[in-house]
Copies of this chain bind each other. A is one copy, B any other.
């Protein structure tokens, strides 16, 4: 992946190759207005919905010691993490590639004594060494999410899904779909059914590719069951009904029953949510131990968010969901800009303050600034004061001008 691939190269270059002063590393970008504002306001909107369900905001740091961040649920993130040495302690510090393991650490230590269920929310940036193949959005990853620590119940899983759905609805993201999966199910089934360990990797790859022919060939006694499981994937209620008819050994049956219970609990909270189930999906989950969820928008391949059930550093149950605001903000209209008023020299300060309170942005004239455009060149007469002010207002993208105490809309 090159810098060009992520759109990070600026349009204006003031230097020759090989190195432009505008070049950013692949996966890092400058957000401008309105995108930067849309993202910030989108995060605020998400955090507001989280708070309305009792999720308390926390802000873990950008860096931690390797021993804390990559312990417990974070151990699967080692390869994704930039590390630097702390000159103070000579220990290695990690630039966080994910916030959830930090919440898991906090829940197990400083918040170990806080009342359960512990509901926490967070937003912030993470950095990964290289973006996952499917993630085009780079190495600096914005996250905003919730974690619900304590109860290991379908109701807890369902609350996380339901709050996330409400947040997307509040943001105005159209056509949202939640896909429930159970990453521990396939490994548990293969083990419980006695599939030989030598066969399991190839069989799991076949299941991952949804390759029914290969599953039939490799599945042995379990082939019929596995193909039925593959076919069960789809809208949640239909999938649950199909899964109920499949003959499963006890532990695997219990795992699928928990998935069915979660579907029922989600429906109790949100009867109309677009909800699908894929029982054999397990790829891409790192530290998850139960029901997982991926959030999509219909017709788009990028994930809007993902989450699921995991264990905190002291093995306390937890589940959560993390949105990707940098993906989300591309799906919602840009944040509305304040209409702009140019403050001509001598504009009334109090009227200007009142305009700002009404939602305008006021752009003050700054002494000594040359006006570009009509004032330049040849024998043309210099524009008069009001004419010059109007030209300046237009040049700065203003729709109004304040002269003295009088605010006028530009024609």
A153 and B367 contact, Cβ closer than 8 Å, known pairs A65-B23, A68-B22: yes
A368 to B258, CA, bound (A): 13
Complex interface residues of chain A between 284 and 336 (CB less than 8 A to chain B): 313-314
Complex interface residues of chain A between 139 and 167 (CB less than 8 A to chain B): 139-140, 148, 150-156, 159
Q: Is A205 an interface residue (CB 8 A)?
A: no
Q: Is A125 an interface residue (CB 8 A)?
A: yes
Contact check, A53 vs B362: say whether CB atoms are below 8 A apart: yes
Contact check, A25 vs B86: say whether CB atoms are below 8 A apart: yes
A349 and B54 contact, Cβ closer than 8 Å, known pairs A21-B67, A68-B23, A395-B115: no
Contacts beyond the supplied A30-B110, A36-B122, A62-B127: 17 A-B pairs with Cβ under 8 Å: A3-B89, A10-B106, A12-B112, A21-B67, A21-B71, A25-B65, A25-B86, A25-B93, A31-B59, A33-B58, A52-B338, A54-B362, A63-B127, A115-B395, A115-B396, A150-B369, A151-B369
Q: B31, B62, B91, B314: which contacts A14 (Cβ < 8 A)? A: B314
Report how many residues on chain A are interfacial, defined by Cβ distance under 8 Å.
108
Q: B24, B53, B62: which contacts A28 (Cβ < 8 A)? A: B62
Contact check, B368 vs A106: say whether CB atoms are below 8 A apart: no
A71 to B25, CA, bound (A): 15
Q: Which of A37-45, A209-217, A218-226, A236-244 contacts B (4 or more CB under 8 A)?
A: A37-45
Contacts of A115 in B (CB 8 A): 395-397
Contact check, A155 vs B52: say whether CB atoms are below 8 A apart: no
Contact check, B127 vs A356: say whether CB atoms are below 8 A apart: no
A102 to B10, CA, bound (A): 13
Contacts of A1 in B (CB 8 A): 88
A32 to B1, CA, bound (A): 38
Contact check, A52 vs B360: say whether CB atoms are below 8 A apart: yes
Contact check, B368 vs A14: say whether CB atoms are below 8 A apart: no
Q: B25, B57, B265: which contacts A37 (Cβ < 8 A)? A: B57
Q: Is A400 an interface residue (CB 8 A)?
A: no
A51-75, CB under 8 A of B: which get 1 and which 0?
1111011111111110110010000
Q: Is A366 an interface residue (CB 8 A)?
A: yes
| A29 smallest CB distance to B (angstroms) | 6
A78-104, CB under 8 A of B: which get 1 and which 0?
000011101111010101000000100
A88 and B26 contact, Cβ closer than 8 Å, known pairs A39-B59, A40-B47, A151-B366: yes
Q: Is A250 an interface residue (CB 8 A)?
A: no
A107-120, CB under 8 A of B: which get 1 and which 0?
01111110111010
Contacts of A21 in B (CB 8 A): 67-68, 71, 105, 108-109, 313
Q: Is A77 an interface residue (CB 8 A)?
A: no
Q: Is A364 an interface residue (CB 8 A)?
A: yes
Contacts of A31 in B (CB 8 A): 58-60
A122-143, CB under 8 A of B: which get 1 and which 0?
1111010110000000011000
Q: Is A361 an interface residue (CB 8 A)?
A: yes
Contacts of A361 in B (CB 8 A): 51-54
Contacts of A108 in B (CB 8 A): 14, 21
Q: Is A283 an interface residue (CB 8 A)?
A: no
